[in-house]
Structure 1
């Protein structure tokens, strides 16, 4: 099975921007990565990888993170 083609640079830039918005919302609500992970039902490493732009979260994960942060999903992905 061939490996998937690398993502275009603009996709990686957007992924990092979404991670930055998640981090900013987390800090604004005074949550640690550990607490956000607990509230969203995932592990801290996953939150870290998403915030750093190293992991591309699926829609369900973004919905859980937005709910845990108490912000509209649109605020994270605009």
Structure 2
């Protein structure tokens, strides 16, 4: 999806008219219409206002493939959900992360049959020098991580403050590798 598609989809999901969005951003309704038709882009200042007022990251607005709910599209290497805060307990129960961003990605190594192929990462701003990332969960296949992302996105959009992982697999560390725990 393009910026124009993303903007239109987000605006409609939030039940905001083009007129209202134009008023919020400080432009004409025709400018918003032009952006949604793909025949122009807002200035950086306006993009920042859009990001803030729609409660989404700039990545979410600008990336070409962001919607995990479109099951017919492949999962991009890094899928970014809308900004907002949600608290998620990690797969091992050792961390509770107040996430403002959640990323789904394939693992960085060639996974074997008994290893998870995807991981979910929660990002918060709790670190002294910037963002801190925590592995929230491990996933055996793309279908389950897409389902998880859909559920998290839905929870964020509904303003639900806490989410419990539903599709993550149990894992165990073995010889510096993460293995799916079949027990």
**TM-score between the two structures when normalised by the length of structure 2:** 0.33
8 Å CA contact 1:40, 1:67 repeated in 2: no
Residue in 1 that maps onto 2:47: 62
State the distance in 2 between where 1:44 and 1:54 align. Answer: 14
Q: CA deviation at 1:55?
A: 1.1
Count of aligned positions: 63
**TM-score between the two structures when normalised by the length of structure 1:** 0.72
- Across the aligned residues of Structure 1 and Structure 2, the Cα RMSD in angstroms comes to 1.5
Residue in 2 that maps onto 1:51: 36
- Which of 62, 67, 71 is residue 56 of structure 2 equivalent to? 71
User: Structure 2: 5+ residue runs without aligned partners?
Assistant: 64-183
Which has the larger strand fraction? 2
Q: CA deviation at 1:43?
A: 1.2
More RCO (CA 8 Å, sep 6+): 1
Residue in 2 that maps onto 1:38: 23
Which has the larger helix fraction? 1
**Residue aligned with 1:50, SS:** helix
